[in-house]
Structure 1
């Protein structure tokens, strides 16, 4: 059995600034303990002769070649914009900084 206690979950919730009720603490304590136990079981069979994988089926990315193709002109792309600034969309500042 794992070393997950209600006090540990309460401490972690405090670090994350998450306010949990007593019922939520109890529930999460059991759920986290089960997760830790499951990881421990997997770790038991993950020996050096078993290769690490992120997916049980081999995957490969399929990329297309980059090629220049016809696209919108600047005027077409900005034609529906509520506001523009030169050749760019004008949007409200979100960081209170002017550049």
Structure 2
């Protein structure tokens, strides 16, 4: 069970200033969340494999093929600064 002291402690860690109304509200909301988490803990998940994503993810690769390209003048036409046939960018140290 979440108490107001718990909410005050979390607020202190997060550097949040909460009104008394907010403390009451968050106490009720966090308590409801933890009650629901307890319901989920009671589910039988023995036959459920651990997963990182609920949907099957895969990379879609394409062959790296040389194709047509734009001429350097056209590529650099909208660049704020250029140096020869290159983009000029600020030095980051």
TM-score band by shorter chain is 0.5 to 0.7
**What CA RMSD, in Å, does the superposition of the two structures yield over aligned residues?**
2.9
Unaligned runs of 5+ in 1: none
TM-score by length of 2: 0.66
Q: How does 1:10-89 map to 2 (within 5 A)?
A: 10-53=8-51, 54-55=53-54, 58-68=55-65, 69-72=67-70, 75-84=73-82, 87-89=86-88
Distance 1:52 1:80, change over 3 A: same
Give deviations 1:17-73, integer Å, cap 9, x for gaps. 122222111111111111111111111114433333442xx4232503142444556
Q: With the length of structure 1 as denominator, give the TM-score of the two structures.
A: 0.63
| Partner-residue secondary structure (3-state), 1:45 | coil
CA distance in 2, matches of 1:46, 1:73: 62
1:67–1:25 Cα change, 3 Å: same
1:90 — aligned with what? 89
